[in-house]
């Protein structure tokens, strides 16, 4: 792989028939790359990027980096549906969220999911700060 360039800007458009996306990625050194992405490929692309992000998080942890990655502004995506299913083993559950017409599945330890669903202190206000609860 050649030395990667830092992304400076991304522009995009949707095909008239809604079947694909067009992206143009601009780099800090002035290069650009045009991409055509069929919607059917998008979940695999997201899964691949998340897998790389998981590897990066594991590498940060293994190298002794303890602080979290730099803070980002969280912009909630509008969910169109939510469901739960059995996980790959008895200790996990799968949460499926439909976003932008596609289903994204997240596997999570069942006991942690149940704690989160019953822990009001884990709820967040619109500014993503912990929601204050009255006890």
Least confident of 2-11, 18-27, 38-47, 62-71: 62-71
pLDDT at 123: 57
What does the pLDDT average to over 70-84?
A: 83
pLDDT at 124: 59
- The residues spanned by each domain of the chain are 8-68, 76-135
C-alpha 8/C-alpha 16 separation (Å) is 27
* DSSP calls for 38-86: EGGGHHHHHHHHHHHHHHHHHHHHHTT--SPSPP----PPPEEEEEEEE
Q: Are 101 and 80 in contact (CB under 8 A)?
A: yes
pLDDT at 10: 95
pLDDT at 134: 44
């Amino acid at each position: 792989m050649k030395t990667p360039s830092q992304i400076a800007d991304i522009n995009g458009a949707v095909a008239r028939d809604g079947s694909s996306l067009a992206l143009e990625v601009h780099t800090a050194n002035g290069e650009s790359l045009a991409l055509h992405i069929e919607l059917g490929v998008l979940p695999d692309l997201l899964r691949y990027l998340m897998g790389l992000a998981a590897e990066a998080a594991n590498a940060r942890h293994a190298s002794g980096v303890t602080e979290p990655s730099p803070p980002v502004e969280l912009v909630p995506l509008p969910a169109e549906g939510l469901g739960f299913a059995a996980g790959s083993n008895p200790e996990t559950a799968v949460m499926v969220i439909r976003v932008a017409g596609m289903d994204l599945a997240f596997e999570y330890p069942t006991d942690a999911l149940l704690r989160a669903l019953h822990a009001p202190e884990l709820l967040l206000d619109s500014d993503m700060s912990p929601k204050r609860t009255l006890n």
